[in-house]
Amino acid sequence: MKSIVVEDFDLSHTLECGQFFRYEKIKDFYYVSHMDALFKLRQRDNKLLYENTTKQYLISFFRLDEDYKSIIRSISKDVHIKKAIKSLYGLRIIRQNPWECLISYICSSNANIPKIKMNLSLLSKRFGHKMILGDYGSYTFPKPGQLSHLKKIQECKVGYRARFIKQANQQTTYKKLLSVEKQDYHTAKSMLLELHGVGDKIADCVLLFSLDKLNAFPVDVWVQRVMQELYFKNKKVTKTHIREFGQNYFGKYAGYANQFLFYYRRQQK
């Protein structure tokens, strides 16, 4: 098995923190399915072992080319965030494919992680084609334009989100997503918000996890909970206010702070 040396990286935290859904842990290995790629990973200390992908792909996917230490330094504003960082050190924001990310988070509304995983698995099984790696099999994720059959989408148990997926499929191309990526945070966000089924939180997720907007600060119930507890003396605060506070307070890499706090709070339950 090939390997690369990795610094400031924790594979388990990165895959399991809830930002990404199409992976499966089997024995000591993680099998990752993403668009047309299927690869196998394992971390041993500072070595990342891999099969069926390339060093270049992994560096991009896990953002191994960015200066983690300086990001951590810039968001380490107080004892609360420092504590979360300490316990989850090495967690990185994954650079997902924007299309798969968009559909994933459209599925996420009023759902939970097991259900989102199931929906994505059914969608790829229904619309993608089979991939094999050793004795493990999964499916490619359908491309923009391939999710047009409403009935078939509904069979993937996505409920009322089926029409959102169909519409996103009609209105989105890779070219459009690329042009969204080129815009600044606010412009990019307003473009995503034009899609039906994409509101504030989902737009921020797509921006953070796939469009290189690391200052995005998605506020779901968990982030709302942890932020109220740590920064608002347990007072009820609107999600909009929390988002604006988070972006101002943590700055350019607020999205990293967001993910640390989110996963840290979820682990406590």
Residues engaged in binding DNA (CB under 7 A) = 18-19, 108-115, 118, 154, 157-161, 193, 195-203, 205, 218, 220-222, 238, 240, 262
- Bridge-partner residues for 130, per DSSP? 139
Q: Give the nearest distance from C-beta 244 to DNA in angstroms.
A: 11
| Nearest to DNA of 34, 201 (CB atom) | 201
| Nearest to DNA of 23, 49 (CB atom) | 23
| Nearest to DNA of 160, 174 (CB atom) | 160
| Nearest to DNA of 260, 262 (CB atom) | 262
Burial 36-69 (b: 16+ CB within 10 A, else e): ebbbbbbbeeeebbbbbbeeeebeebbbbeeebe
Query: Which is nearest to 211 in space by CA: 108, 96, 58, 103?
Result: 96
Q: Give the nearest distance from C-beta 68 to DNA in angstroms.
A: 21
Are the C-beta atoms of residues 146 and 156 closer than 8 Å to each other? no
Q: The tokens 């939970």 sit on which residue?
A: 112
Pairing type for strands 136-139 and 130-133 reads: antiparallel
| Nearest to DNA of 69, 236 (CB atom) | 236
Q: Give the nearest distance from C-beta 200 to DNA in angstroms.
A: 5
Question: Amino acid letter at 232?
Answer: F
| Nearest to DNA of 81, 94 (CB atom) | 94
Q: Give the nearest distance from C-beta 105 to DNA in angstroms.
A: 7
Q: Is the dihedral of CA 117, 45, 26, 128 positive or negative?
A: positive
Q: For 235, how many CA atoms within 13 A lie in the half-sphere containing its CB?
A: 7
Query: Which is nearest to 80 in space by CA: 264, 259, 225?
Result: 264
Q: How far apart are CA 257 and CA 74, in angstroms?
A: 10
Q: Give the nearest distance from C-beta 112 to DNA in angstroms.
A: 3
Q: Give the nearest distance from C-beta 241 to DNA in angstroms.
A: 8
